[in-house]
A and B are shown apart, each in its own frame.
Chain A
Amino acid sequence: MKIEEKILVNEISNRNRVVFESSFREYYFILARFAEGFVFDHQVAEDIVQNTFLYFWENTDKIQIETSLKSYLYQSVKNRCLNYLRDLHVEDKHHFLYFETRLNNEDTAGWDEVDLSDRMQTAIDSLPPQQKELFTMKYVHGVKNTEIARINKISLNTLQTQLRRAKEKLREKLAGYISYLFF
């Protein structure tokens, strides 16, 4: 865990209300939009985010944050969304909703790893090696663009082009499977 994150989490568990409020304000809409991609109703999405923050604030002493505050919040919001779907008898077996929200979100740092369905994995495996590598780093592991470019010694521009091509190829591969996802 980064030192800034450690300080942040520490301050909140010491009931520093100012720090907590600024975290609330920083993440509220990001999380609400994330939840909306599962529940589709912005009011329900906002309620889920409210409850996540409330639970967190009231149980700071019991909650152990391993990676970062943001990734903890994402994880709890996601779990609450999946519970909401479960109550509605809706399943997301292939992790479409999570993957979709992720593809539509530039800022994927701090996200949980995506569990890919076999079909999705096979489609990704059929990409040319470099595209597969870059796509996986970005959308499966949630590595930042600048970081991916640095590791692979390529320009940001090249990275974006390669990612776009990869998406285009996947769209063809998965055509008719789920058009919303990639068309």
Chain B
Amino acid sequence: MRSKKVHIVDIEIIWKSINGDASEKEIELLDKWLGEDPSHRMYYEQAQRFFMKGSSLDSSQERLDNAWQRFEDNERRGSARPGKAILVAASLAAAVLFAAMLLWFNGPRKNDKAVENEIAAINPGTNKARLIFEDGRSFDLSVDAELVMQEHGTTIKNKAGKLEYIPEPGASEDGDHKPNEEVHILRVPRGGEYFMTLSDGTKVWLNAGSLIRYPVAFHGSERKIGLSGEAFFQVAKDEKKPFLITTGNQVVEVLGTSFNVTSYEEDPVIVTTLVEGRVEVGLKNNPGAVMVLEPNEQSRYSKNKGELSKRAVDPALYIAWKQGRFIFEEETLMNIMTTLSRWYDIDVVFANEGAKKFRFTGNLDRQAGFEKILKKIEKTNEIKFIVRGKTIEVN
């Protein structure tokens, strides 16, 4: 008989890993724990989602009425037992599966039509984001949401899909005005993108599934922000105050320049691509490893190896998303599907493992319907996509 060793992880390790801060040893433990049971991976994914998107609790009156209704049903059915939460979840999952099977068996004739309809429901991303204040207040931002407010000498304005921080003219750090040290978070969900201007005039384009943390006003000798996901920066020049972007284990230091950073938690690399100016890429855990990038250069930080390397690239490929295009050059299908899944907010399953390594080249419109994009990829190779709701199976 084989005795199974149980691995216990601390929530600290989970947070660190989501932030890209976990050490090699911690990742090793985490991987063992993740492999132990599917419920562990589910918890991890929920933690990740919660970190990116916050609460998904809908606190409407209707939901409360339903909750009370459910309470009365449970009461009639008998006493509550510990662990019932999981049983309920399991039976829910079974019900969904059963419903899915019913659909599957009842509808083979109409299949083509059904698939078409389902694809029609998958739309390209739009301008949307959630702004979160330190005190817990939060605001859903979009093209239509107008917002103007005054917070200790800074005007925060959202209009026509653009968020702006405008310092009050003449507001200084001394005198009776207390410096505003508040930190805000802007979260862009999957299927979204957003544009914002920080209080120093730096412009930031955020891609789908990204998060940026920044102070309302920049005090002190540095301008420090945090990023997770992908963003293009046009940093306002201020030679006295360097601009620092922390993302996972990497820190990018700049004075004034434009560049793109791709640092999704689930990606194995952090990619920094310089368009103009000059940046210094460093590592939090290794102050000695500093790499200077010149225009048309790209640094790649491998999270597994802990190594930083650079190469010459055409930056246009890496900032195409900002111009509303997807440009892929000899890119693997796996990476392409990851990019598409963020923008169209879909899940991808590879039934054919080998297909992950197929390579494609193409220039596609980000505003195109998803169906069109799939057809273009299907045409070029022996790949078939099966669409089920928001899940795409690659065959």
Contact = CB atoms under 8 A, between A and B. Distances in A.
Interface of A: 21, 24-25, 28-29, 32-33, 36, 39-48, 50-51, 53-55, 57-58, 80, 83-85, 87-94, 96-97, 104-106, 161, 164-165, 167-168, 171, 176, 178-181, 183
B82 A183 contact: no
Given A33-B57, A90-B11, A176 B75 contact: no
A171 B18 CA distance: 18
Contact of A90 (B43, B58, B59, B86): B43
B376 interface: no
B57 A91 contact: no
Contact of B226 (A89, A179, A181): A179
Contacts of B50: 36, 40
A171 to B, nearest CB: 8
Contacts of A58: 75, 79-80
B88 interface: yes
Contacts of B82: 51, 80, 83
A36 B57 contact: yes
B71 A89 contact: no
A33 B138 CA distance: 15
Interface in B24-50: 33, 36-37, 39-40, 42-43, 46-47, 49-50
Contacts of A48: 85
Interface string B84-100: 11101100100000000
A156 B87 CA distance: 47
Contact of B7 (A29, A89, A105, A164): A89
Nearest to B85: A47
B304 interface: no
A29 B58 CA distance: 9
Contact of B85 (A51, A168, A178): A51
Nearest to B81: A51
29 contacts: A21-B68, A39-B43, A41-B43, A42-B57, A43-B88, A43-B92, A45-B57, A46-B57, A47-B84, A50-B71, A50-B74, A58-B80, A88-B40, A89-B8, A89-B36, A89-B40, A90-B8, A90-B11, A91-B10, A96-B15, A104-B136, A168-B181, A171-B183, A178-B12, A178-B16, A179-B19, A180-B15, A183-B183, A183-B213
